[in-house]
Amino acid sequence: MQSGRPQNIPMENLSKPIFAQDEMGRPFIIVKDQGKKLRAHGVDAIRSHILAARQVSGILKTSLGPRGLDKILISPDGDINITNDGATILSEIQLDNEVAKLLVELSKSQDDEIGDGTTGVVVLAGAMLDQALELIEKGIHPIKVANGFDKACKIATANLDSIADSIHIDSSNIDANLSHDSDLFRAASTSLGSKVVSKCHDQFARIAVETVLNVADLERKDVDFELIKVEGKLGGSLEDSKVIKGVVLDKDFSHPQMPKEINDAKIAILTCPFEPPKPKTKHKLEVETVEEFKQLQEYEQGKFRQMIKQVKDTGANMVICQWGFDDEANYLLLSNNLPAVRWVGGSEIETIAIATKGRIVPRFEDLTPEKLGHAGKVREIALGTTRSRLLVIEDCENPKTVTALIRGSNKMIVDEATRSLHDSLCVVRNLIKDNRVVYGGGSAEISCSLKVAEAADKQKGIDQYAFRAFSQALDVIPMALAENSGLNPIENLTNLKAQHVKDNNAFLGVDCLGKGSNDMKQQFVIETLIGKKQQFLLASQLARMVLKINDVIVTGKDQY
What is the per-residue pLDDT across 520-558, written as a single tens digit (0 to 9) for each?
Answer: 888 888 888 998 999 999 999 999 988 887 776 665 554
pLDDT at 345: 85
Domain coordinates in residue numbering, the chain? 11-39, 42-165+439-511+525-559, 171-244+400-434, 246-398
**pLDDT exceeds cutoff 70 at 172:** no
Question: Tens of pLDDT along 103-127?
Answer: 888 888 888 878 777 888 899 999 9
Catalytic choice (85, 111, 252, 511): 85
Lowest mean pLDDT among 27-36, 333-342, 530-539: 27-36
Return mean pLDDT, the chain: 82
- Over residues 445-449, the mean pLDDT reads 93
- Over residues 408-416, the mean pLDDT reads 84
Highest mean pLDDT among 214-218, 287-291, 293-297, 368-372: 368-372
Q: What angle do CA 452, 476, 92 make, to 5 degrees?
A: 125
d(CA 195, CA 426): 15
User: pTM here?
Assistant: 0.76
Catalytic choice (62, 118, 403, 528): 118
pLDDT at 13: 46
- Assign residue 401 a region: left if phi > 0, alpha if psi is -120 to 50, beta otherwise? beta
- Over residues 295-309, the mean pLDDT reads 84
pLDDT at 117: 79
Among the listed residues 261, 299, 285, the one whose alpha carbon sits nearest the alpha carbon of residue 391: 261
Catalytic choice (252, 423, 463, 475): 423
**pLDDT exceeds cutoff 80 at 27:** no
Give the DSSP letter of residue 94: -
Catalytic choice (119, 190, 356, 528): 119
Lowest mean pLDDT among 42-46, 115-119, 338-342, 512-516: 42-46
Residues 6 or more apart from 325 whose CB is under 8 A from it?
Answer: 254, 273, 274, 275, 333, 340, 342
d(CA 65, CA 482): 9
Among the listed residues 378, 344, 111, 358, the one whose alpha carbon sits nearest the alpha carbon of residue 225: 111
Residues in the chain: 560
- Give Cα 358 to chain centroid, integer Å: 31
- Over residues 213-240, the mean pLDDT reads 84
| Helix axes of 118-137 and 529-547: crossing angle, nearest 10 degrees | 40
**Across the chain, which distance is largest between two alpha carbons, in Å?**
107
State whether the Cα torsion 363-368-374-378 is positive or negative: positive
**pLDDT exceeds cutoff 50 at 35:** no
- Over residues 415-426, the mean pLDDT reads 86
User: What confidence category does residue 192 fall into, taking pLDDT thresholds of 50, 70 and 90?
Assistant: confident
Q: Please give the share of the chain, as a percent, with pLDDT higher than 90.
A: 19
**pLDDT exceeds cutoff 60 at 189:** yes
User: What confidence category does residue 1 fall into, taking pLDDT thresholds of 50, 70 and 90?
Assistant: very low
Task: For residue 494, indicate whether it is catalytic.
Answer: no
State whether the Cα torsion 198-200-201-207 is positive or negative: negative
C-alpha distances out from residue 177 to 171, 191, 219, Å: 9, 16, 16
d(CA 493, CA 478): 7
List the CATH code of the domain at 42-165+439-511+525-559.
1.10.560.10
Question: Tens of pLDDT along 244-277?
Answer: 888 888 888 888 889 989 999 999 999 988 877 7
Residues 6 or more apart from 316 whose CB is under 8 A from it?
Answer: 266, 267, 268, 338, 367, 372
Task: For residue 423, indicate whether it is catalytic.
Answer: yes
**pLDDT exceeds cutoff 50 at 420:** yes
E strand intervals along 356-399 = 360-361, 373-382, 389-396
Superfamily of 246-398 according to CATH: GroEL (3.50.7.10)
Residue pair 246/375 in contact (Cβ under 8 Å)? The answer is yes
- Give Cα 294 to chain centroid, integer Å: 57
User: What confidence category does residue 471 fall into, taking pLDDT thresholds of 50, 70 and 90?
Assistant: very high
State the amino acid at position 230 in one-letter form.
Answer: V
- Over residues 394-407, the mean pLDDT reads 85
Question: Tens of pLDDT along 66-102?
Answer: 888 888 888 888 888 888 888 888 888 877 777 788 8
d(CA 190, CA 193): 5
Task: For residue 85, indicate whether it is catalytic.
Answer: yes
Lowest mean pLDDT among 267-271, 324-328, 436-440: 324-328
Domain spanning 171-244+400-434, CATH class: alpha beta
Radius of gyration of the chain, Cα coordinates, nearest whole angstrom = 31
Q: Please give the share of the chain, as a percent, with pLDDT higher than 70.
A: 88
Query: How crowded is the C-beta side of 181, counted as CA atoms within 13 Å?
Result: 1
pLDDT at 151: 92
- Over residues 20-28, the mean pLDDT reads 60
Task: For residue 356, indicate whether it is catalytic.
Answer: no
